[in-house]
Amino acid sequence: LYYSSTVFFLILFSSCPVLECWFVQEKTGRGGLSANQETSLLHIRTDSHTAETQPAPSDIPPDRVYFITDPAATLCHRSLNPPRGSVEKPRCEMIPFLPQPSTLKWVAPLTDSASSPIYLQADWFSTSLQGLNRQLAISTVTRAPTATKEHDVVLSVTSKTVFVQSRLGKPVLLDCGFWVDPSSPLSGSGFAVEWRYQFRGDGRLVLAYDGKADRLAKAQEEGATLDFDGLHQKGNASLILPEAKVHHSGMYICTVYLPYLVAQVAMELEVVEPPSLSIHPSPLPLTVSGQTLTIQCEASGFVPLSMELSWEFKGTDGKSRPLGSGSVTGHRQAWDGTYSQSTRLELDTTKLDLGRGGEVTCVAVHLGDPRQASVTLNVIGFSSPSIEDSMAMVGVALVLYGLIKFVSWTFTSSGSDEAVQQDKVMFTKCTIF
């Protein structure tokens, strides 16, 4: 949350925000463990000597006002500093943090020799933030001398890909970066990076990297990798997936470990692929007025599952009208995890005024993109034939006449009066027709 009152603000020369943040602390009572929430105020600055503040507002306890120094300016991102009066606010939660060693085999070596008991004797907090419109996710670990409110950011982990959509088969980059205070005794003792996946209660390790030994400790996702040069030089811990697959959709957690410290950010990946549509039969057979025609539309290769199928008809007059969803089948899943579904339309030319025909369209509404497939419908034999139909029938008669005349010339003498007479009679019949 962001405190937008005109009374409390960071002094000039700083574009960093003043953040309202939930301070969450666990308490043990008669009913067991419970969480107590209080509103706190965070004054963000990049230098502890350049910011001054006004007194805290009356509704915020004085002991919940903190001054956070962030030399990397991660907490000064514009998504954490909305315009004054904005309804939407950043999300912020702060909890007490207890530094401790990790037993994970790719993290445990960090505390073999990197022991800083005096440095760890302080007040530590872990803060999680999410910017407006999910532009940014940040997790920080801050340190303050015991019983003081002047905190320094020791470790920050960020992601600019809080929510990512990817087409099936395309490469995916899940952003994760970290910064360590170079003045901290923990900064030169190595680090470790871990990526985990979660989806509907299912969780698995994607990749684990031991930065102290410079080795990939564990990789369970085929093809998943990191930019190892960028990891050591710039703190770029982004996960690279060479080819998005259906089972990649879910929540990813990037965790960065220092000796005794840990911070993590979460992001969501959604793999999306629109359906491919096909209509059967195609082309449609010539339909006689009064006949019922069955048309089927097959949608295949789409993900996620949700999709709507419907039919439309566009007449020769250019006007469109809905024909309903038809008879829709259940979903079927292919070997690659994508789905297929079909709809069958019973087109009764007796009940539906389709005129001389038009265009029948299958419409699929899907998260990936809407899709359409069309076929042409021709209806004959209805009352009040048009000029076009009459001309078409005359054309057919003339073609038939030409064929018959050609055959007649082939098998009879061209000078035969009888043949000539037959031609005249035939021509007369065709014309009358």
pLDDT in tens, 56-109: 677 888 889 999 999 999 999 999 988 877 788 899 999 999 999 999 999 999
Contact predicate 69/151, CB 8 Å: yes
Tens-place pLDDT, residues 148-203 = 899 999 999 999 999 999 999 999 999 999 999 999 999 888 999 999 999 988 88
What 3-state DSSP class applies to 391?
A: helix
What 3-state DSSP class applies to 156?
A: strand
The pLDDT value recorded for residue 56 is: 66
The pLDDT value recorded for residue 387 is: 54
Whole-prediction pTM = 0.78
Tens-place pLDDT, residues 286-336 = 877 778 889 999 999 999 999 999 999 998 888 888 999 999 999 999 999
Six token digits for residue 181: 């205070």
Distance CA 232, CA 238 (A): 12
Q: What are phi and psi of 17, to 5 degrees?
A: -85, 165
Buried b (16+ CB within 10 A) or exposed e, 259-294: bbbbbbbbbbbebbbbbebebeeeebeebeeeeebe
Number of H helices, E strands in the chain: 4, 27
The pLDDT value recorded for residue 246 is: 95
